[in-house]
Amino acid sequence: MKFTFRRARTTGIEALVQRNSDLPAFTELPPEFDLSLELKAAEAKARVDVESGAYDVTVVEAVDGQLPYEQEIDAKIDRIRSEEEVRRILAEAEGEHFVLHALESTEDEDGRKLSHTRLELQAAHLEADLAAAEASRAELGQILRGEKPAADDTDWSATEPPAPTSERYLGIVLRPERLKLWFKTVGLLIVFGVPEGYVLTWILGVFIHNDDDRWLGASLAAMLIVFMVMVPYVCGTRLVGCKRRGYANRLDRIVFLGTALWAVFGAGLALARTDASRQDFETQQLERAADGGGAPEQFHFWFAFVLWLVAILAVGIAMMFIKVLTHNPVRGDAVKADTTIALLRRRVGKVRTALTAVANHADFKRRMVAKQLEARKHMYDVVLVRAGTHVKRHYRDTLITMMGDPAFTTGVTSGEVA
């Protein structure tokens, strides 16, 4: 028998789509199943089966309408899918581990390693500190509103300071209320300490004539500055407490003794400086009389003394006056608490943002892993099966072409060909 062999026109993955219009767009095949090689093998097998007369001599045993070679294709596909099922189980476990690892750690924009657990703990600690700070601030607010006395039974009622409105760091730490608080403490000492130091250094300079004693003079000036500035600062602070409590106690005597000591010490400095000025004035008068400068003038001792006393004590009096008018430790603590709360909220927000970024990154990885697993499942469960169907169909088409009988394969599978 002479056969006419006609090669099939479509032998690639495109043929699978053309011959099966219901196939989805995703047509990637597993690496274990090369469609072009399988189609060539199907053609070769069909040629061998026809030329050997296998279908002319014996009745082919068909299973569910499948020819032996078609059964081999099904067995091969079942084996590939079984192996993939094992790999899929391992891949799912590995994918879960991958997602869990993504939850445990990821990298931020600066390249630093961020631990999800560490961020959670940090956020918990910050939120606990924030809750404690807010509770303390609420208690300070009750004291400022006059709803309860302070721990020392002092009435520190006053207007509450406004809370920070900016979320920026500089907007929080450099807001007006905080700058006012800084000026009432450190700034006040600097502003009044500089002129006081200048006056005291000038006074001591009159008594120091040897250059070797300059360091001694500087040391004495520093101690005098500390004493003449800090005493009215502390006395003014304690005097406010006495006034707020509304009754006389031991603090009144302490303030009185401190102020008296400061005033006496300042008067002593003024007296010494006035006496030095008197001696210098008399020396100038003697030199003037020796040169025939006319009658000597009189030195106004008490006038000079009052001027020097005012120059020495004016700074301390001003500082004490300002402290009496403005000092309120509870309000200062409220300003500090507002600053602490705002900074803690800012830090909590940053940590929560980082946690959200980590969670989003992990969720993205989880979705990608799920999509990859779904794609592989579609490739092995749908595309591979349909590719096998295409190979089997190609095998039958080749048989029909070589036998020249369109009903040949139908007769074989039904047992009508012998």
Domain assignment present for residue 346? The answer is no
392, 286: one domain:
no
252, 392: one domain:
no
Q: Which residue's structure tokens are 């750690």?
A: 105
170, 313: one domain:
yes
**Final residue of a structural domain among 327, 347, 367:** 327
What residues of the chain score a pLDDT lower than 70?
1-27, 54-65, 91-116, 196-197, 199, 201-218, 246-252, 291-296, 361-366, 369, 405-418
Domain assignment present for residue 95? The answer is yes
Number of folded domains in the chain?
2
339-359 residue pLDDT tens = 899 999 998 888 888 777 777
308, 388: one domain:
no
Which residues span the domain enclosing 64? 13-105+384-413
Among residues 169, 208, 98, the alpha carbon closest in space to that of 349 is found at 169
Q: Is 6 helix (H, G, I), strand (E, B) or coil?
A: coil
**Final residue of a structural domain among 286, 310, 327:** 327
Q: Is 66 helix (H, G, I), strand (E, B) or coil?
A: strand
330 with 284: CB under 8 angstroms?
A: no
Query: What number of other Cβ atoms are within 10 A of residue 297's Cβ?
Result: 10
pTM for the full model?
Answer: 0.49
- Residue-wise DSSP of 104-170: HEEE-TT--EEEHHHHHHHHHHHHHHHHHHHHHHHHHHHHHTTSS--TTS-----PPPPPP---SHH
**Final residue of a structural domain among 327, 342, 361:** 327
193, 74: one domain:
no
Strands 105-107 and 113-115: antiparallel
Domain assignment present for residue 2? The answer is no
Question: H helices then E strands: how many in the chain?
Answer: 14, 2
Domain assignment present for residue 112? The answer is no
323, 207: one domain:
yes
Handedness of CA 233, 238, 244, 250 (dihedral sign): negative
99, 164: one domain:
no
Q: What is the pLDDT of residue 132?
A: 92
Task: State how far the Cα of 339 lies from the Cα of 331, in Å rounded to an integer.
Answer: 12
Domain assignment present for residue 8? The answer is no
Q: What is the pLDDT of residue 12?
A: 43
322, 389: one domain:
no
